[in-house]
């Protein structure tokens, strides 16, 4: 019988509910066609699980016009990186750390820019 860990993707999803750089951003787990701007898409990557802790890698992609995508990504990083983060209905996160800092990523559009980052979310089993 394995341990049950807080859902790291859900935690980051919940943290994106708050205004980011003074703006409400639409959130998606799977990006829809014709999505509104600005939008954030949150997805998971493979992580690691040790004796007591688990480290999930969570990708966060911001879509917005012009430089706004990178501004939102940088502001979100400042909101979520830290230790001992309690996320209601998800649990306690030991830490959220930056794996890859927010950066512009090529996106095939003449009006939409994409800025991406990857975070490490460290958790311990729920008691």
Calculate mean pLDDT across residues 50-59: 93
pTM: 0.94
Q: Which residue has the higher pLDDT, 121 or 50?
A: 121
CATH for 8-123 is: 3.30.2000.30
Measured CA to CA, the distance from residue 12 to residue 105 in angstroms comes to: 21
pLDDT in tens, 76-117: 999 999 999 999 999 999 999 999 999 999 999 999 999 999
pLDDT confidence band for 2 (50 / 70 / 90):
confident
Query: Strand 39-49 relative to strand 26-28: parallel, antiparallel, unpaired?
Result: parallel
Query: Does residue 29 register a pLDDT over 90?
Result: yes
3-state class (DSSP) for residue 68: helix
């Amino acid at each position: 019988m394995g341990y049950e860990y807080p859902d790291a993707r859900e935690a980051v999803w919940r943290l994106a509910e708050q205004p980011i750089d003074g703006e409400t951003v639409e959130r998606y787990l799977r990006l829809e066609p014709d999505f509104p701007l600005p939008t954030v898409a949150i997805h998971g990557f493979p992580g690691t699980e040790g004796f007591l802790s688990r480290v999930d890698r969570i990708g966060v992609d911001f879509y917005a016009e012009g430089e706004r995508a990178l501004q939102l990504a940088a502001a979100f990083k400042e909101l979520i990186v830290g230790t001992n983060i309690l996320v209601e209905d998800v649990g306690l996160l030991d830490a959220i750390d930056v794996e890859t800092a927010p950066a512009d990523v090529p996106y095939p559009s003449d009006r939409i820019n994409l800025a991406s980052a990857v975070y490490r979310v460290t958790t311990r089993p729920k008691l």
